[in-house]
C-alpha cells in the first residue's frame, strides 16, 4: 500500500472498548498506519461564559447554567483522559503508527461518521457495546449500529478473542460472488497476517447462485442451479480464484459450501470453528443498493461472538449519498 491506512477508533473506557483495542493486534493491520482515537462526551457544551466583557455591569450567570458548563467541561476532560490513555496503549502495540487522540462534546455516532468522512478513514473500529460513563449509548443497536449502517467506509465491530493468544488466527469470509464479497476477500489479502493464519471462504447456497460471465462487466449476472449437491463442484470452482488470491498472500484458504439461511450458517460456522473474525460485504448479489446494510451483514454483526468486519469497496464509499 502506497498510502498509509487510516484507522478511526472509538473509545469510551468500557470493557468492550478495551477489547477493541486488544483486537487491533489480531486484525492484520499494517506496521505503519495513521490512527485517531476518539472519545465522545454525549453532552451539550454551552457557549463559554464571558464575565469580563464589562466589569462595570457584570453579567449575572444563573447557577443552573454554571452547573451545565461545569458538568459538560468535566465530561470532556474525562473523555480527553480516556482517549489519551487509549492512544498510548495503541502506540505500545504499534510503535510505528502515527497516533493522535481527540475528545469532543457531541453526539457520538455523528461525530464518528463526520470525522471518518472528513479524514477519509479506511476503517472505523467500534466495540460491540458501550459504557454509561459517557451517556450510555455506545452499544450495538445505537452508536455502534448507527456507525455500522451509515459509514461510507469499512467498519470493524471488535470483540474479545476467545481462543488462546498463541493459536493461529482463523478468519471466516462470507462469499456469494458479488462485488461486495470480492472486496472482502481483497481486503483480507491486503492485510499483514501472521504465519499460519487460516481462512475459510463460506458460500451458503439455496437454489440458484449468481456468476459473472464477463469480469469487466460485474453487473452482468448469470444464474446457475445449485440446489442439487451434485452441482456444488461448479460452485466451488466459482470461488477458487478468491481462494488462490488468499493462498498467494500466504494464507491457508479452503472453500466451504453450506445450504440454509446465510446468517445462521455463518454464525454456526464461526462458533463451531472458533473464528476470530468474520469478513463480509455490506450486501450480497440480491441486496438492494438503496439499503445501507444488508440483513445478513446486520444480523451477523449484531449476533456473532467474534469480531465482524463489514468491508465497503472504495467505489461504494465514494458514490454513497
pLDDT tens string 61-109: 566 666 666 777 888 899 999 999 999 999 999 999 999 999 988 888 9
- Domain with residues 170-319, CATH architecture: 3-Layer(aba) Sandwich (3.40)
- For the chain, the structural domain boundaries read 5-49+64-158, 170-319
CATH code matching the domain that covers 5-49+64-158, chosen among 3.40.50.1820, 3.30.590.20, 3.40.1180.10, 3.40.50.620: 3.40.50.620
Q: What is the pLDDT of residue 141?
A: 47
* pLDDT for residue 285 is more than 60: no
User: Mean pLDDT, to the nearest integer, of 288-314?
Assistant: 80
The pTM assigned to this predicted structure is: 0.83
Residue 249 has pLDDT above 90, yes or no: yes
Same fold, 5-49+64-158 and 170-319: yes
Tell me the pLDDT tens digit for each residue of 12-53: 998 889 999 999 999 999 999 999 999 988 766 555 555 554
pLDDT for res 136: 40
Contacts of 243 (CB under 8 A, 6+ apart): 201, 253, 254, 255
d(CA 3, CA 36): 16
Nearest to 39 by CA among 104, 94, 129, 85: 104
Average pLDDT, stretch 248-269? 93
Quote the crossing angle between the two packed helices 262-273 and 295-303, to the nearest 10°: 30
Amino acid at each position: 500500500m502506497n498510502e498509509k491506512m487510516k484507522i478511526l477508533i472509538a473509545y469510551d473506557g468500557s470493557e468492550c472498548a478495551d477489547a477493541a483495542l486488544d483486537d487491533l493486534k489480531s486484525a492484520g493491520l499494517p506496521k505503519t498506519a495513521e490512527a485517531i482515537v476518539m472519545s465522545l462526551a454525549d453532552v451539550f457544551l454551552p457557549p463559554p461564559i464571558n464575565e469580563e466583557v464589562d466589569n462595570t455591569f457584570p453579567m449575572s450567570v444563573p447557577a443552573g447554567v454554571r452547573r451545565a458548563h461545569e458538568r459538560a467541561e468535566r465530561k470532556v476532560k474525562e473523555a480527553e483522559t480516556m482517549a489519551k490513555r487509549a492512544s498510548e496503549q495503541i502506540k505500545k502495540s504499534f510503535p510505528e503508527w502515527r497516533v493522535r487522540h481527540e475528545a469532543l462534546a457531541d453526539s457520538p455516532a455523528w461525530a464518528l461518521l463526520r470525522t471518518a468522512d472528513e479524514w477519509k478513514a479506511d476503517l472505523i473500529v467500534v466495540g460491540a457495546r458501550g459504557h454509561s460513563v459517557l451517556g450510555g449509548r455506545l452499544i450495538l443497536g445505537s452508536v455502534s449500529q448507527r456507525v455500522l449502517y451509515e459509514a461510507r467506509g469499512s467498519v470493524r465491530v471488535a470483540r474479545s478473542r476467545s481462543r488462546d493468544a498463541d493459536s493461529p488466527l482463523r478468519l471466516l469470509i462470507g462469499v456469494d460472488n458479488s462485488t461486495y464479497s470480492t472486496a472482502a476477500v481483497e481486503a483480507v489479502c491486503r492485510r499483514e497476517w501472521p504465519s499460519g493464519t487460516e481462512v475459510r471462504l463460506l458460500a451458503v447456497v439455496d437454489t440458484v447462485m449468481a456468476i459473472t460471465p464477463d469480469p469487466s462487466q460485474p453487473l452482468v449476472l448469470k444464474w446457475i442451479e445449485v440446489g442439487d449437491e451434485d452441482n456444488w463442484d461448479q460452485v466451488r470452482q466459482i470461488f477458487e480464484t478468491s481462494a488462490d488470491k488468499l493462498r498467494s498472500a500466504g494464507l491457508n484458504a479452503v472453500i466451504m459450501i453450506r445450504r440454509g439461511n446465510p446468517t445462521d450458517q455463518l454464525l454456526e460456522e464461526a462458533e463451531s470453528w472458533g473464528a476470530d473474525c468474520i469478513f463480509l460485504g455490506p450486501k450480497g448479489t440480491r441486496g438492494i443498493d438503496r439499503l445501507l446494510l444488508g440483513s445478513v451483514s446486520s444480523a451477523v454483526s449484531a449476533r456473532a461472538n467474534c469480531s465482524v468486519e463489514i468491508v465497503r469497496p472504495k467505489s461504494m464509499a465514494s458514490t454513497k449519498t
